[in-house]
Structure 1
Amino acid sequence: MESTSALSFLLPIMMVTFSAVFLVLSRFNVPSGRAWGLGFGFSALGFIASVVPLPVEIGALSGDAFFVAGFFFYAEALLVQFSIPLYRRERAIFVLVYLLIDLYVVLVERSLHAELFLNDVATSCLLGFALLKVMDRATKLADRALIVMSSLVVLDTLARVMVFVFLVKSSNRLEDFATSSYAWAMQITTSAVGLLFALSVLGSITAATLLSYRDAADRDPLTGLYNRRGFDGALAPKKDSGRYEGTVLICDIDHFKQVNDRFGHAAGDRVIAELAAELGNSLPAHAISARFGGEEFVIFIPGASLAEGGVLAQSIRIRFAARDWRHIAIDRQITVSFGVAAIGESEASPVEAMVRADECLYAAKAAGRNQVVLEGGRFELRSAPEQLIEAAERLRAANA
């Protein structure tokens, strides 16, 4: 009994410690940190309420409220961590209905079995709902471990109350909770499962944080596209397949220095960001786009032919040239030029195609800018711009 008594105090201390850790992490831009911290904090209060000398009804009601609040925030943390809608109103209504029923069970029925069953089913439903929403989002090992441990928390909670209520003969008096087999089992299993649960949360957050730092190192902060390092990294999986197939596009903004000199660098940054957004909206989903510096962009479109690359480049050029920039105080047309080259059958990497595309870009600049040049010759418009844009949209949709 002494070891059990020690566990009853060790458990809330452990929960408070993890709560403090996650709340601190929330100050360092960990989106789910606050919800995890509140979840473990309220759970700690629930365990404290079960061991401090309070009137029976107050101890039961406050403990139940703290536990359901803890699981409310565990569920919210999972939803936040996997970027799922929070369903906060629906979950809050569920908690309110539960608290009203619990009030009746404790004050009127005074049934320990009913109170524990109701609380454990309610908390399991809250966390189980979030698990169902996020389960298919767990693609990384640390995230899968978190899903497994969250599921184990639900199973442990339900199994414990089912055994106590339906299989074990015990007192149904609220006053006998502290000496019940349920209280003993809760301290033992929750100590083990709760520790593993908290560690899995830390592991998942750590993995996500490291990934975000690595992604930040591979991304251009202005546009969100890859930088040179990120572009090379994104191409690496293609190398594993044996060879590269596709087309390379290189583009930059015509007379961009004049834009910066006349309208300011802030306006120039907006133009660069808008071109990046245009690329994202116009290219197939599997295209790999990067800002190589300044106003220069490089795009690799796996599987695209030279003609398809030309159609896509021409549609982007037409749309960008038609933009009205007066909303950022630019009172002139801004255009882009493209060079396009296909990767040859004998080429083991896109590097040679990038060199040829760059030469085509220089040819487009020399020929007057605001045009697309393919290796082998200038891209000629054989149809109306509207028809060409529609063709590009069909290409993009077919390769989405």
Structure 2
Amino acid sequence: MGENFAFFLPVMMASFGVVFGFVWSLRVRAAGYWSGAFFCVAGGFAVPAGFALFPTPHWGFVADLLFAGGFLLFSQALLERWRPNWLLWARIGICALSVLLCVVAIALDNLPLELAASDFGCFLLIGLPLIAGRDHLGNWSDRILFGAAALTALDNLVRGSTIPLTLSSGSFLNSDYAFLMQALACVFGLFLALAALAANMLDLLARYQRDAQHDPLSGLLNRRGFDEAIAQRARKLPMQGSMIVCDIDHFKTVNDAHGHALGDRAIVLLAQILARFAPADAITARFGGEEFVLFLPDTHAARAAGIANDIRESIAQEVADELGLSRRLTASFGLSAVQRGDASIHDAIARADAALYEAKTRGRNRVCVRRALAAPDTLATDLKFHAQGA
């Protein structure tokens, strides 16, 4: 076994352990398992150095235990992406059985059996997650990670199957087995680490992007996320449909009388009602405070008004009871259809805002529609099928 491998591999694996530890500190759960796995494997590859300093037969057991533990963590790290805790106890059992067979082999002074038990155990531990992951390869990072894990599993399988050929000298340190183990570990270990790191960093970036575009309280899009969703749709399809703007009536009074915690619960409940009634392709956002916006693609004004009225009635009937309020909590709605002459979607939002203001001035708890901003006679006040609240 080359001295360069003996020094380089533990350092390389431990370095990846540190890197994944940092990623884990950024709240990427799988990175914690990757970190622990690479530290364990680094310890396993550092065993020859420990043996050189303190010769004892116990080092073999330490290496077997570290490799088994490391590959158990590899399997858990992979499954965090694809199917968390799948066959957890079976994998723990495989890890324990592999270590037990290694102990028996050490007691019998049977090096081929010890290496085979370790290799086949590692193969099963990293190979089983591939069964769960084969149906979750929707993006390139998962496909590359799957390939890297498959190569690592194949490496262990082939190495364990060819022990009679590569361990012909009977000595581990000077055998072809040891050289191939460390040489291939450099290649496949580096590939696996880089693939996992890329996948974890992409997950982290996706989470940051999701957080930047979503309101943390309601879970709906925020203003930035709404604009981005609208822009993405506009690049593919013509902008046609209806815009609804919703605002909770007398919300400040609710906060002042019952506290902001209850006001936050009201926001969450209203967001849930919006999500319940909004069509699957609707773009729903919280613009701030108690104001919500819904864009209903390919929906004419009459249909959008019916949806807005259903939402209005549900808010009036459900929210106060859910929060334990003595008086009903209501909301007002403004609606406008997207028009061909609109410079942007914000023209429709401006008309819906004007309709919302009209709903507020006419007594709240109602739906009003605006077709243009110019003259008051272009305002269609409460449509005949819109129930006016008490």
Q: TM-score range by the shorter chain?
A: 0.7 to 0.9
Question: Which moves more between the two structures, 199-208 or 46-55?
Answer: 46-55
Give 1:115-154 correspondences, 5 Å limit: 115-154=114-153
Pair 1:171-2:168 in alignment: yes
Cα–Cα, structure 1 residues 8 and 283, in superposed 2: closer, same or farther, change >3 Å? Answer: same
CA contact under 8 A between 2:67 and 2:122: conserved in structure 1?
yes
Aligned Cα root-mean-square deviation (Å): 2.8
C-alpha displacement at 1:329, in angstroms? 5.9
Q: 2:284 is matched with which residue? A: 289
C-alpha displacement at 1:36, in angstroms? 1.2
Give 1:8-47 correspondences, 5 Å limit: 8-47=6-45
C-alpha displacement at 1:184, in angstroms? 0.4
Rounded Cα–Cα distance in structure 1 between residues aligned with 2:277 and 2:133 = 30
Give 1:78-97 correspondences, 5 Å limit: 78-80=78-80, 82=81, 84-87=83-86, 88-97=88-97
CA contact under 8 A between 1:340 and 1:360: conserved in structure 2?
yes
Question: Which moves more between the two structures, 47-56 or 29-38?
Answer: 47-56
C-alpha displacement at 1:290, in angstroms? 1.1
Rounded Cα–Cα distance in structure 1 between residues aligned with 2:296 and 2:83 = 30
Cα–Cα, structure 1 residues 85 and 282, in superposed 2: closer, same or farther, change >3 Å? Answer: farther
Rounded Cα–Cα distance in structure 2 between residues aligned with 1:42 and 1:273 = 44
**Matching residue within 232, 255, 259 for 1:237:** 232
Cα–Cα, structure 1 residues 286 and 126, in superposed 2: closer, same or farther, change >3 Å? Answer: farther
Rounded Cα–Cα distance in structure 2 between residues aligned with 1:363 and 1:372 = 9
Aligned residues: 374
Rounded Cα–Cα distance in structure 1 between residues aligned with 2:280 and 2:102 = 51
Rounded Cα–Cα distance in structure 1 between residues aligned with 2:112 and 2:279 = 58
State the TM-score, normalized to the length of structure 1: 0.82
Q: Percent identity?
A: 35
Gaps of 5+ in 2: 371-379
C-alpha displacement at 1:74, in angstroms? 1.4
Q: 2:250 is matched with which residue? A: 255
Rounded Cα–Cα distance in structure 1 between residues aligned with 2:11 and 2:240 = 58
Q: Deviations over 1:141-192 (max 9, x none)?
A: 4444333322332233323333x237x364385xx22222111001111112
C-alpha displacement at 1:258, in angstroms? 1.3
C-alpha displacement at 1:370, in angstroms? 1.8
Pair 1:298-2:293 in alignment: yes
C-alpha displacement at 1:380, in angstroms? 4.6
C-alpha displacement at 1:327, in angstroms? 6.6
Rounded Cα–Cα distance in structure 2 between residues aligned with 1:382 and 1:34 = 55
Cα–Cα, structure 1 residues 372 and 124, in superposed 2: closer, same or farther, change >3 Å? Answer: farther
Question: Which moves more between the two structures, 96-105 or 179-188?
Answer: 96-105
Cα–Cα, structure 1 residues 170 and 324, in superposed 2: closer, same or farther, change >3 Å? Answer: closer
- DSSP-derived class of the 2:27 partner: coil
Give 1:297-376 correspondences, 5 Å limit: 297-323=292-318, 325=320, 330-344=325-339, 349-375=344-370, 376=380
C-alpha displacement at 1:340, in angstroms? 2.9
- DSSP-derived class of the 2:155 partner: helix
Gaps of 5+ in 1: 384-400
Q: Which amino acid aligns with 2:233?
A: K
State the TM-score, normalized to the length of structure 2: 0.84
Q: Deviations over 1:12-32 (max 9, x none)?
A: 121122212222332332222
